[in-house]
Homo-oligomer: A and B are copies of this chain.
């Protein structure tokens, strides 16, 4: 965390990002037409932004139900002690745990907030056992069952700016 390799995102980049973050299978020709650039220029910019880490990844979003993961949970975890090494350990565990879709370290009432998927309640129960009860440093956790995933995804508001 010591270097920022010059963002350099202009308005053309922003327009491209706004499109690909919704659908990255949009062809360069389509993007080019929409933003008023040549297909090659669009490709060059995409390649540059992927290399620079502005575009972090290109992924398919899978319908959880299609593969039997019918339930989603939002879990708030409070640690016993906020020691740096224990926290680092917890982060590593969450990264490794395939049931954990997302994990945020937050300020406020709890320490971590997780988005967890499971096949069913029994599957979630197993997850809590493995992830929490076997962990001495976890003070408490509170579960919210998701009844409706109103909005999912990681779309970021991208607006034009005057550079």
A residues adjacent to B (C-beta < 8 A): 4, 7, 9, 14, 17, 20-25, 49, 52-69, 72, 74, 91, 94-95, 98-110, 112-113, 115, 117, 142-158, 161
Within 8 Å CB of A9, what residues of B? 66-67
CB distance from A44 to the nearest CB of B (A): 16
| Assembled-state Cα–Cα distance A115/B157 (Å) | 13
Q: Classify the interface of chain A: helix, strand, loop or mixed.
A: mixed
Decide if B155 touches A101 in the complex (CB within 8 Å): yes
Within 8 Å CB of A105, what residues of B? 146-150
| Assembled-state Cα–Cα distance A52/B62 (Å) | 11
Decide if B156 touches A67 in the complex (CB within 8 Å): yes
